């Protein structure tokens, strides 16, 4: 693609052959590129370039104890960075490419910059399914550190417009591949010998994990921090959020679900996957509305509803 149609905003380019080339050039030079994945938009940099990784933390205002997920094209590439036991290989074979991040021990000669793992001896790895991110990974031959492309603590971006509104010129290039299909961050699983723990609920549900592993996740209990950066307040609009709201007050923008109509409805047919794909867009809309407060209808805690409620609890948590 070429010509003025590619150029939507100062830094936003519609995805295409030419723009992928421009993105790769930037990434190889140590720059940042915002890129769509099936979960949310990521702010990507070469994970082996310490200065580029430092720039991600700076652009997001992200605390340096919060490690980054590294995106790789396939399991073979993942094995150069992390150690995969039988259970990890089983998860990878069944659920990659897809919205599953696995935390595994780093390899001896893991080339990623130390800041990516925030000093841990484990690394978080994912093989994404989105065609734009896949093309970037396969064509560039880079392993990309890519947290969500928003200011730290704020609402995750599910469109290119959300990215540019949150990061402004801190995202010098945004590849616009349309809205993210899943709309909620990846499930994070820590693989520990023949056991696994769910560190963050997401689009891959506990039932899917159990069917793949042949057993349920174990719950933490070691007392050590399992997932640094999983802060109580996160994904948060700059307004108070009230949950389980069947009705809303005059001052509240009401996000509905199923029979609770609201000012907008995440899914009139009560489809949880549809609701997940629209959750962050709804929070962005509520944040931008004239109403000073936000209320959210009850959402069932089953399947991907677990992840939806996890994000909503963090959105509603006092800052
Ligand atoms: P984000 O990039 O915002 O989607 O967040 C990535 C999350 O992955 C972090 O907040 C951590 O909680 C988790 N994570 C990344 N690396 C590790 C690791 N080595 N061990 C445990 N959790 C990790
Ligand atoms: Mg994030």
How far is CA 216 from its chain centroid?
A: 24
Model confidence at 232, in pLDDT bands (50, 70, 90)?
confident
**127 CA → ligand 2 middle, Å:** 17
Q: Measured from the CB, is residue 265 less than 6 Å from ligand 1?
A: no
DSSP 38: S
**2 CA → ligand 2 middle, Å:** 32
Task: Check residue 16 and give its pLDDT.
Answer: 84
CA–CA dist 64, 119 (Å, integer): 10
**155 CA → ligand 1 middle, Å:** 17
On the question of pLDDT at 5 being above 50, the answer is no
The chain-wide mean pLDDT, for the chain, equals 93
Contacts of 241 (CB under 8 A, 6+ apart): 293, 294, 295, 296, 312, 315, 316
The minimum-distance atom of ligand 1 relative to the CA of 185 is: 4
Q: What is the pTM of this model?
A: 0.93
12-213 has which fold? Answer: DHBP synthase (3.90.870)
Q: Are 180 and 189 in contact (CB under 8 A)?
A: no
Q: Identify which ligand lies nearest to the alpha carbon of 99.
A: 1
Model confidence at 224, in pLDDT bands (50, 70, 90)?
low
Model confidence at 231, in pLDDT bands (50, 70, 90)?
confident
Q: Measured from the CB, is residue 107 less than 6 Å from ligand 1?
A: no
Higher pLDDT, 236 or 50: 50
Q: Measured from the CB, is residue 81 less than 6 Å from ligand 1?
A: no
Q: Measured from the CB, is residue 110 less than 6 Å from ligand 1?
A: no
What residues does CATH 3.90.870.10 cover in the chain?
A: 12-213
How far is CA 163 from its chain centroid?
A: 13
CA–CA dist 35, 12 (Å, integer): 10
Q: Measured from the CB, is residue 50 less than 6 Å from ligand 1?
A: no
């Amino acid at each position: 693609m070429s010509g003025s149609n590619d150029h939507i905003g100062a830094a936003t380019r519609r995805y295409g052959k030419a723009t992928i080339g421009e993105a790769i050039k930037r990434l190889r030079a140590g720059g940042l590129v915002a890129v769509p994945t099936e979960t949310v938009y990521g702010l990507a940099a070469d994970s082996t370039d310490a200065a580029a990784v430092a720039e991600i933390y700076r652009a997001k205002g992200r605390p340096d104890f919060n490690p980054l997920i590294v995106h790789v094209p396939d399991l073979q590439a993942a094995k150069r960075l992390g150690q995969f036991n039988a259970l990890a290989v089983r998860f990878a074979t069944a659920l990659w490419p897809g919205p599953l991040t696995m935390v595994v021990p780093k390899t001896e000669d893991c080339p990623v910059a130390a800041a990516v793992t925030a000093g841990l001896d484990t690394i978080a790895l994912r093989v994404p399914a989105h065609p734009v991110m896949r093309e970037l990974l396969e064509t560039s031959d880079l392993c990309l550190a890519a947290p969500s492309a928003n200011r730290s603590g704020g609402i995750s971006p599910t469109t290119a417009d959300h990215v540019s509104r949150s990061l402004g010129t801190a995202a010098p290039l945004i590849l616009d591949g349309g809205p993210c299909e899943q709309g909620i961050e990846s499930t994070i699983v820590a693989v520990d010998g023949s056991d696994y723990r769910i560190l963050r609920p997401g689009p891959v549900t506990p039932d899917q994990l159990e069917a793949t592993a042949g057993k349920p996740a174990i719950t933490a209990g070691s007392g050590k921090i399992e997932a640094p950066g999983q802060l109580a307040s996160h994904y948060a609009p700059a307004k108070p959020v009230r949950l389980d709201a069947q009705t809303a007050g005059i001052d509240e923008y009401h996000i509905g679900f199923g029979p609770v109509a609201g000012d907008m409805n995440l899914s009139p047919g009560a489809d949880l996957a549809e609701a997940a794909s629209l959750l962050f867009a709804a929070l962005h809309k509520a944040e931008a509305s004239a109403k000073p407060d936000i209320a959210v209808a009850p959402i069932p805690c089953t399947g991907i509803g677990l992840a939806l409620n996890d994000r909503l609890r963090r959105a509603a948590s006092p800052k």
